Structure 1
């Protein structure tokens, strides 16, 4: 096995035993990026110099013994997370040359754990998209078929992991932006409970929905990354005072005592036959392993997309008002007065999808329309939360497809509504603030990965990971990677 193919656990074992150095591992990953980078296009910025310096520091730390599992491990960061001294663009021209003076809390935590940050991955502009085609700086491709999308908005992170261009990556999930690309690229992706991971230093899209999480090559690696990034942060007012368990502790505990719920509504949304077949095969494996699987109902599932695409744009219209060309970011140099400078800077700096959502959100919050749109969407959100509360009294883990279809060809979806509808199975998790994850469960007839979605109650990531570890072992898809 080549070094760049290692999981975090495999590399940590080599580093701890001093059979391999972090510099060697980092050079192997950087060489892999150079060899495959133009085809996959997963990175906006590669920080070779910074990565090698961090690797040498990690080697010194490893030499003293007792280093944490992430020490010396090359990881990638979604370009929505601020990195001190390293360009952070949000996938937008308006921040194309922005270099933050500080790092996000999750970035600091990874650095404190000794992880080596190799670069910033591409993404839909300001995390607004389901295909990663809405990036102003680089559009990534699915490593399993370079003519297909890798999913969004954390598509670059998922593609980088699938292509062995890093051992793991961080993404963000506002309506499925970790789980969808994880499903499309055949990797593991976890969206933690809202408030479990600090959002400080994350370029805000929708503040009541955004959450940072890992994309990894297997379930154990996801647990290791969660161990590092979870925890209360006084700099984030939405961060929750909740004890952080060792997420690796129950990975081998099996399925005994766990009840799985199968929401009937998730199978009534025009599922692709390949998706349905792969998910049902995975459920069959659960039943063979002795798990109890029962049908449940989440009756307001169909209203999730409409509620989300009012709430998220409304919050985005407020959050993105800070990009005005005055303090930082792109500024039009030809404007004759302040109002013209605002208009020209924002018109030139933002892409079409971002402008569309700003307009929707501003309209939904405007005088005379707030009650009819934003308030009504918030009421629907409350009903969706109540649906989950009732369902999770009947089961411990909800199991379903991640998306209605596998990845689709680049450029084949030009209608915004058809794109938004691909989020129908992931959005409810965010509206309810629950943890969710995707893990590989099969392939389509043309060789594209298909993911299985797990959801659980608030702060029960441990249940998700415990169930996922058993499913992963029985299905045997964790080690499969595309050939580039």
Structure 2
């Protein structure tokens, strides 16, 4: 099989080729490493490429599969790790310069789970500093393969770029205010922000522990389901990891959504939202209805106050996470992360108590809403993907960040799972994106709904114009 035909295949397709012995993990890995060497100099998705180690893994998997050993759908599949995942075999910088040479003594739980499942680790993917909004000034930021003049999101930027450009088959991302969902949206990907605690955070650099989620970024709902099934589950090293059994997310993924109750609140999703986003979302609603979903009007809980409190809540938890290096090494921090930490250090306990109470009220109201529906349909962003110039202008206005967080941050507060799906193309030929949101531990329903939508649309198969 031609190496040129491999890089945009889905995880499920590659997995089947490997299982049937029609392609070897070493051949696939070698082709992927060649593509990284060819293209990553343009797009800067990787912080570190582990070529020698990846090939050694792949050859081990060649031998296993030749003997009839089959570890599952990730066996022999090359993936990338966001560089906040601890790896004992490579530095874990977390987007910082402070930790550039930090090699942990152990792997993150999710890294071990991926490798036990047979995934080939191609390397560590770039990210914003400390997983906040911007890259450290000393580090070249990843560039959007759809158009390098457009925003690539934050903070799982390398994960979005590499997966979209065909430089890995899937990647790990993390999400505190939207950092799986924004790069998935800007790069035309499918991403899952799981229920808080569904995936262990042991060995994952924190931004804000009570808001942080870890999940997969892939090119289809089925691929994301395959990765989530490997990394989810209880963890003795993370007492916040949920102990609920992990279903086989790929089983029943093609069962359709007839009768599934999907809620829409047109005031929440249309007022003040760009008309191109609204038009694509309305068409997505029609598509879901045509697939048999029961579309129901709902009233989304009051959210504006909670969104306005996200930065303050994040700042306090970030300040706590950086006590070992801030302010003692303050000069080595980039300006945005330093400003966030300073805000956190100045925020009072009374302020945090007020945010906590608002969070509890919103989460309770959201849970009540889900008693009448199975999923909620919303955009990922209120506007099409902005240019880098526009984002630079936005940077001076905190209200713009809060506007962009409208459809993301509240679900980090509530811990609700969401799946991000491409839903169209804007007039500038950049992807448009939507989310389906569910009650806690409804990831099986989310991937089934995502797969149903993708079975009758081709937005997730569109590729950046890089070849």
SS in 1 for 2:407: coil
Find the partner of 2:27 among 24, 28, 43.
Answer: 24
Paired with 2:56 and 2:306, the residues of 1 have a C-alpha distance of: 46
Query: What is the alpha-carbon distance in structure 2 between the residues aligned to residue 157 and residue 24 of structure 1?
Result: 22
**1:138: Cα distance to partner?**
2.6
Distance in 2 of aligned mates of 1:90 and 1:420: 24
Q: Counterpart in 2 of 1:431?
A: 413
Structure 1 position 391 matched with structure 2 position 374: no
Contact 2:318 2:344 in 1 (8 A): yes
Matching of residues 52-451 of structure 1 within 5 Å: 52-65=55-68, 66-129=70-133, 133=135, 136-268=138-270, 270-323=272-325, 343=328, 345-347=329-331, 349-364=332-347, 369-371=348-350, 373-413=351-391, 414-415=395-396, 417=398, 418-451=400-433
Residue in structure 2 matching 1:14, options 17, 41, 51: 17
Q: Which shows bigger deviation, 136-145 or 274-283? A: 136-145
Secondary structure of the residue that 2:323 maps to in structure 1?
A: helix
User: Could you tell me whether the CA contact under 8 Å between 1:125 and 1:135 is conserved in 2?
Assistant: no
The answer to whether the 8 Å contact 1:92/1:136 transfers is no
Is the 2:126–2:156 Cα contact (8 Å) retained in structure 1? yes
TM-score normalised according to structure 2 size? 0.95
Q: CA RMSD in A?
A: 1.5
Query: In structure 2, the residue corresponding to 1:171 is in which secondary structure?
Result: strand
Q: Confirm or deny: 8 A CA contact 1:125 1:136 kept in the other structure.
A: no
Q: After TM superposition, give the deviation of residue 269 of structure 1 in Å.
A: 5.2
Post-superposition shift, 1:133?
4.6
CA distance in 2, matches of 1:208, 1:281: 35
Q: In the TM superposition, what is the alpha-carbon distance from 1:31 to its structure 2 partner?
A: 1.0
Aligned length: 458
SS at match of 2:461: coil
Quote how far apart the aligned CAs of 1:435 are. Answer: 0.5
Cα distance between partner residues in 1 of 2:268 and 2:207: 26
Q: Distance in 1 between matches of 2:9 and 2:288?
A: 28
Query: Offset at 1:401?
Result: 0.1
Q: Distance in 1 between matches of 2:269 and 2:71?
A: 46
Instruction: Report deviation, 1:268.
Output: 4.9
Instruction: Provide Cα deviations, 1:454-484, integer angstroms capped at 9, x if missing partner.
Output: 1101111011111111111122222211121
Supply the distance in 1 between the matched residues of 2:208 and 2:252 (Cα, whole angstroms): 33
Asked if the contact 2:97/2:136 (under 8 Å) is kept, the reply is: no
**Unaligned regions of 5+ residues in structure 1, if any?**
325-341
- TM-score scaled to structure 1, two decimals? 0.92
What's the CA shift for 1:421? 2.7
Unaligned 5+ segments in structure 2 are: none
